[in-house]
Amino acid sequence: MDVEALRASPIGRLVPISGTDGRTGTHYDYYAYLADPLPASVELSTSTWKAVVSAEAALARLDQAARQVPNPGLLRRPALRREAQSTSALEGTFAPIEALLEPDLEERGQLPLEVREILNFVVAAEEAFGWIQERPLTVGLIANLQRILVQGTPGEYSDAGRLRDRQVFIGPRDSPIQEARFVPAPFGDRLQAGFEQCVEWTNNPPGDMPAVVQTALAHYQFETLHPFSDGNGRIGRLLIVLQLMRLGVLVHPILVVSPWFEQRREQYQHQLLDLSKSGLWDNWVNFFATGIQAAATGTHARVDALLSWQEEVVAQVRQAGAAGVAERVARELIGQPILNAGHVARRHQITHQGAMNALRRLSQLGIVDEQVRNGRVTFLAARAIELLRR
């Protein structure tokens, strides 16, 4: 860690820490970085203000598009799984999108560890989306999201669901703390106070600060405090969408933010650390706003492509005279592109044979492909999955 640069930080301070490295059993005396409370205003350049305006315009277009969809829930399911996949990939956990779109996945007991970790994010996000529509963010809510996120994974430490009770550092796992890239706030009262201040600022931000700027500042603060023993990156990126919902910028949580940051992982980490050193918000806000604008534009394009494909397949089904269940299933493929007869029978309250007949009719039309997955006859809409991968 660049101790001298961080010692001169105008937006935080170094505090001495000591302890025993739990991995090696060796004692250390070092420093941790404690961020100051967030400011009421920041100085931004003209180019950064333009990036902020572009980001907020892209978010408005995305939200307007979602509002016009008769059933936006169809878009929410694949968007959330795409976000879950990408935000987990940033932390080194990967599973193909097909594995996350299997029907009734949440009800299965035995899942590969990487799928369980990513699915935990989906469960946590759904919990958060239900909460934020009626209530503000709280320390308790965020801690509970972290508990859900790490449940049944190697990151489920004894302090899961609570602020961490240990010192953590960011850097190579096999290196001593002195070689860490960054050492976040020490656990205890100072971390508790800093996190409470961050949540309070997020709920009651400066009234004249644009939503994207507010979100950029809150995201920096959360990641710099690193309040949990595991899952800080994934929770922090989930909070971006929650904050935009809380601010009324998004009504439907279909924004997929992580792929853009995943593709720029080193730059993302560098920007966060550079801000801690310099205290200059301009570069970070510009980078963040550019990412949000790209994410909103990309999500919007994906939504348009899915809806166009939906129109095509529904028209194809009608032209073939295959109305009824087959048409309803075709309409829902943008949200559930992998199906089996059992799932369709339960969802549409029909017999198993009736569901199989509808799915095989769609297969005959070339809309879905029949295959065996995990020992079950399954129908997969390859075009929908291709559009989701973009």
Digit-coded pLDDT (tens) for 298-329 = 999 999 999 999 999 999 999 999 889 999 99
Question: What's phi and psi for 79, nearest 5 deg?
Answer: -65, -45
Give the per-residue pLDDT at 357: 95
Question: What's phi and psi for 210, nearest 5 deg?
Answer: -55, 155
Q: Which long-range contacts (CB under 8 A, 24 or more apart) does 191-196 make?
A: 191/163, 191/164, 191/225, 191/227, 192/163, 194/34, 194/35, 194/37, 194/225, 195/139, 195/163, 195/225, 195/227, 196/139
35-78 residue pLDDT tens: 999 999 999 999 999 999 999 999 999 999 998 888 888 889 88
Q: Which has the closest alpha carbon to 227: 5, 83, 35?
A: 35
How far is residue 185's CA from residue 131's CA, in Å, rounded to a whole number?
Answer: 28
Give the per-residue pLDDT at 273: 97
Give the per-residue pLDDT at 172: 83
pTM of the model: 0.93
Give the per-residue pLDDT at 108: 67
**CATH among 1.10.10.10, 1.10.260.40, 1.10.4080.10, 3.30.2140.20 for 321-389:** 1.10.10.10
CATH topology for the 3-302 domain: Fic-like fold (1.10.3290)
Q: Which has the closest alpha carbon to 44: 280, 282, 208?
A: 282
Domain chopping of the chain, boundaries: 3-302, 321-389
Are 3-302 and 321-389 equal in CATH topology? no
Give the per-residue pLDDT at 376: 85
Give the per-residue pLDDT at 173: 78
Give the pLDDT means over successive 10-residue stretches in the chain (390 positions). Answer: 95 96 85 97 97 98 90 88 89 86 75 89 94 92 97 94 95 86 96 98 93 98 97 95 95 93 93 97 98 96 94 96 93 94 94 95 96 89 90
